[in-house]
């Protein structure tokens, strides 16, 4: 085990300058730290060049601005370090990622809202467009933005008895075109239309049936299975693998690159609508009630 120690990622509250560049030192093991405790744990195996990125933002790994920024910086560093593979997983029990932090979209500060959306675009561009072989080790529930992260990867391995899907319409919001395109690339047009319009959350078994995930293994085997599959990717000549991936994804990536600011404006205008705010408020209330009932 080896490699990168990235310390001192500072996420400033002041906008628009969000971060200072993290410093990198070579060490024998890796930990990428963020300001919000150790919410992103990244280990790089120096022999194989495979990084394991564990999301660790309890209770549900929801993606707020600071967390997205940490992920984006980490992805950039791994790419710059010429890592060959990435296993994306979670350190939070039973949750892969609950998607976007709804509190970022509910009663938002409009300037922050736009920076938030750009940071999500950044993560998507880096992960979907990564040169690395990427495998999602889905060891928990994976709604909405969580499903997006998983579908950005080249391969998905999931544990039983969880759920995954783009459930946006159930919250009264709409998955943007690049979420749609990502999902279409995995399960095709018809199934994506069905999934998006109904906001379907699939069980692990259903997800396997529609090929939203590639493989199902017991919980404790998810990461070992991802490591095993990664070996297959790494056996392929690097340039051929990367160019093939680029061939499949470049148009989709370019579409967002060319429309980034329009997409930010569309998101902002949509999110501040009274009807959308009402739906998000009701959804948050429902989540809170459900959570209190458990306690």
Residues at the site binding ligand LQQ7U7AH, with contacts judged by CB under 6 A: 59-60, 62, 94-95, 98-103, 141, 143-145, 167-168, 171, 173-176, 266-267, 270, 287-288, 290-291, 294
Q: Which of 75, 100, 127, 196 is catalytic?
A: 100
CB of 202: closest distance to ligand LQQ7U7AH in angstroms? 13
Told to judge if 127 belongs to the known catalytic residues of this protein, a careful annotator would answer no
Nearer to ligand LQQ7U7AH, 116 or 155 (CB): 116
What is the β-pairing status of strands 94-95 and 140-143? parallel
* Distance of alpha carbon 86 from alpha carbon 136, whole angstroms: 8
Q: Which of 145, 146, 165, 199 is catalytic?
A: 145
Structure tokens at 178: 């690049």
CB of 82: closest distance to ligand LQQ7U7AH in angstroms? 31
For 249-265, b where at least 16 C-beta lie within 10 A, e where not — what string? beebbeebeebeeebbe
Biggest CA pair distance of the chain: 53
CB of 97: closest distance to ligand LQQ7U7AH in angstroms? 8
* Distance of alpha carbon 27 from alpha carbon 42, whole angstroms: 13
Q: Which of 165, 168, 212, 256 is catalytic?
A: 168
Reference 249, options 178, 144, 168; nearest CA is 178
* Bridge partners, 134 (sequence order): 86
Nearer to ligand LQQ7U7AH, 53 or 149 (CB): 149
Reference 3, options 43, 38, 48, 33; nearest CA is 43
Told to judge if 145 belongs to the known catalytic residues of this protein, a careful annotator would answer yes
CB of 124: closest distance to ligand LQQ7U7AH in angstroms? 11
Told to judge if 269 belongs to the known catalytic residues of this protein, a careful annotator would answer no
Residues assigned a catalytic role: 100, 145, 167-168
């Amino acid at each position: 085990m080896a490699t990168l120690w990235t310390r001192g990622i500072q996420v400033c509250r002041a906008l628009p300058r969000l971060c200072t560049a993290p410093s990198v030192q070579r060490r024998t093991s890796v930990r990428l730290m963020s300001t919000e405790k150790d919410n992103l744990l990244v280990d790089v195996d120096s022999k194989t060049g495979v990084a394991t990125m564990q999301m660790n933002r309890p209770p549900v790994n929801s993606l707020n601005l600071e967390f997205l920024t940490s992920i984006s910086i980490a992805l950039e560093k791994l790419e710059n370090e010429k890592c060959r593979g990435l296993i994306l997983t979670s350190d939070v029990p039973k949750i892969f990622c609950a998607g976007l932090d709804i509190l970022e979209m509910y009663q938002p500060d409009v300037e922050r809202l736009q920076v938030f959306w750009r940071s999500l675009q950044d993560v998507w561009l880096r992960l979907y467009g990564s040169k690395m072989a990427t495998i999602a080790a889905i060891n928990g529930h994976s709604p909405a933005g969580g499903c997006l992260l998983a579908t950005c990867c080249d391969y998905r391995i999931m544990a039983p008895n969880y759920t995954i899907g783009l459930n946006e319409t159930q919250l009264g919001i709409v998955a943007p075109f690049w979420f749609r395109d990502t999902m279409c690339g995995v399960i095709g047009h018809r199934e994506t239309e069905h999934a998006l319009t109904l906001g379907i959350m699939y069980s692990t078994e259903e997800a396997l049936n529609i090929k939203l995930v590639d493989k199902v293994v017991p919980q404790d085997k998810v990461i070992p299975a991802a490591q095993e599959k990664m070996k297959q990717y790494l056996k392929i000549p690097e340039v051929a693998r990367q160019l093939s991936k680029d061939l499949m994804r470049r148009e989709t990536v370019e579409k967002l690159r060319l429309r980034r600011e329009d997409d930010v404006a569309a998101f902002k205008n949509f999110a501040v609508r009274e009807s959308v705010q009402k739906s998000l408020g009701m959804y948050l209330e429902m989540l809170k009630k459900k959570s209190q009932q458990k306690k």
